[in-house]
Amino acid sequence: MEKIYDIGIVGGGPAGYTAALHAAARGLSVILFEKDCVGGVCLNKGCIPTKTILHSAELFEELKCGESIGIFTSDLTVDFAKVIEHKNQVVLKLRKSLELMLKNRKVTIVNSKAKILDSGTIEADGKRYECSKIIAAVGSEPGKLCGIEFDHKSILSSDDVLNRTTLPKSIVIIGSGAIGTEWARIFSAFGSEVFVVESADCLLPAADFEVSKRLERIFKSKKIKVYKGTKVSNIEVNGSCKVYLENGEVIETEKVLAAVGRKPCDTEKIEGVSYIGDACGEIQLAHFAIKQAISEIDGIFFDKKLVPSVIYGNPEIAWVGKREQDLEDGTYKKSLLLISALGKSQCDNSVDGFIKLLSQDGKIVGAHIISKEASSLIHQVLIAMQNNIGVEKLKEVCFAHPTYSEGIFEALFNL
Ligand SMILES: Cc1cc2nc3c(=O)[nH]c(=O)nc-3n(C[C@H](O)[C@H](O)[C@H](O)COP(=O)(O)OP(=O)(O)OC[C@H]3O[C@@H](n4cnc5c(N)ncnc54)[C@H](O)[C@@H]3O)c2cc1C
């Protein structure tokens, strides 16, 4: 039996490394087991790589349309292998800095697959480690389509698609959640023909209905073809992919990306062990994993109903709190401000979107934003919601001009 640790953590993603860093900062002895790379899905296969590729895609798309604002770029081309290389460099840089932080905090890292034997023992590489407390932060893996296997060449998962250095001429993306929507935006910006198949009756089914509708309009403007309310029943791969839909339609493309959600790893739970992050199967977001880790170690709790959602790309989409379809008629007020009304949006040539606020009894209960900078804007509303700051009090705040934040200020006056 190895030395006794105060805390043993299995999994070095956002949940695991945050728990490790915070526990070590409290002077506890920490051992962290990671079978792959620290940073987990978020840093190596999720948030960071996709947002880096998305940044290249947005820049390319913006420059393509530069002529209308006086920017002429002749022979604008994309070297997708270089885009991926750049993404790899960003990931590597962040991973090295995370490894250094863990080292500086004196967290012991074991680079192996670990097995939790009971609430006080972890086994890895044939050795047993005794820990006073064990946290399982083992994450999640791509969900499979019923009856359809990934072949990792033509039928791709969100892991496979990250390291391909060539762009497909055409691609079917199954699922229009965050991952499907972001990849649809990436491929479309780089010029691939994109088809999105969504089994629900609207795109981005978790969003407010007006956000879903507007996203469909945005997709249409980018020539992304949408198939709603139908499922993929079969895929035949023979050079190209023939994608059969339940509604009888058939789409022929070079590749298929299945972005149909993720399932928690290690579903068998051991009593006395804390399961946090994607592994606990609640909300599969990095910031949720991080907040859970901080709650676990520092006892700083948070309201699970106030976890923001963000979909990146042009324009960004962000929301928090209640959706309009979840509120009963006559019990709420609604304000919808078009982004095109803001001076800053005209300056930036980024006029698509809206800020929608929903209030009940003088307090904001939901915010739904489609706009450049939506990922930051949402936090202004979130801080007010979390702290019970009412609409009238918010009207006292002085917002700078010209900004997108002014849109939030303007929207308050219709509540
Ligand atoms: C394409 C994509 C884009 C995403 N974009 C966003 C985004 O923009 N914003 C956002 O908030 N979320 C995003 N997510 C979700 C986010 O990545 C996850 O919610 C987050 O990574 C969960 O953190 P975690 O620590 O719970 O698990 P993970 O990040 O999955 O980490 C778990 C770690 O545990 C390790 N592990 C598992 N089993 C063992 C074992 N037995 N022994 C040792 N190690 C083990 C794994 O190797 C892994 O490193 C995205 C996900 C994907 C796939």
- Residue 239: give its domain's CATH number: 3.50.50.60
pLDDT attached to residue 97: 98
307 is a domain residue: no
* Residue to substitute in 33, 34, 37, 42 for testing ligand 1 pocket (most ligand atoms within 8 angstroms of CB): 42
> 42 alpha carbon to ligand 1 midpoint, in Å?
5
CA distances for 85 relative to 38, 52, 56, 93, angstroms = 19, 11, 12, 12
| Number of domains present in the structure of the chain | 3
| Residues of the chain above pLDDT 70, percent | 99
> 98 alpha carbon to ligand 1 midpoint, in Å?
15
Q: Give me the domain span that covers residue 364.
A: 315-412
pLDDT band at residue 157, thresholds of 50, 70 and 90?
Answer: very high
Return phi, psi of residue 389, to 5°.
Answer: -85, 120
> 276 alpha carbon to ligand 1 midpoint, in Å?
11
Q: Are residues 76 and 188 in the same domain?
A: no
| 87 CB burial (10 A radius; 0-12, 13-18, 19+) | buried
Q: Report helix, strand or coil for 293.
A: helix
| Summary mean pLDDT of the chain | 96
CA distance 176 to 207: 11
404 is a domain residue: yes
Which residues are CB-contacts of 133 (< 8 A; sequence separation ≥ 6)? Answer: 6, 7, 8, 274
309 is a domain residue: no
pLDDT at 290 over 70: yes
Q: Are residues 238 and 280 in the same domain?
A: no
Give the number of other CB atoms < 10 A from CB of residue 189. 23
Atom 37 of ligand 1, nearest CA residue: 138
Q: Are residues 44 and 183 in the same domain?
A: no
pLDDT attached to residue 261: 86
- Which of 40, 6, 5 lies closest to 276, judged by CA? 40
pLDDT band at residue 145, thresholds of 50, 70 and 90?
Answer: confident
Return phi, psi of residue 409, to 5°.
Answer: -60, -50
CA distance 261 to 70: 42
Output the domain CATH number for residue 401.
3.30.390.30
Model confidence pLDDT, tens digit, residues 60-74: 999 998 999 999 988
pLDDT band at residue 2, thresholds of 50, 70 and 90?
Answer: low
- Residue 304: DSSP 8-state: G
Q: Are residues 234 and 344 in the same domain?
A: no
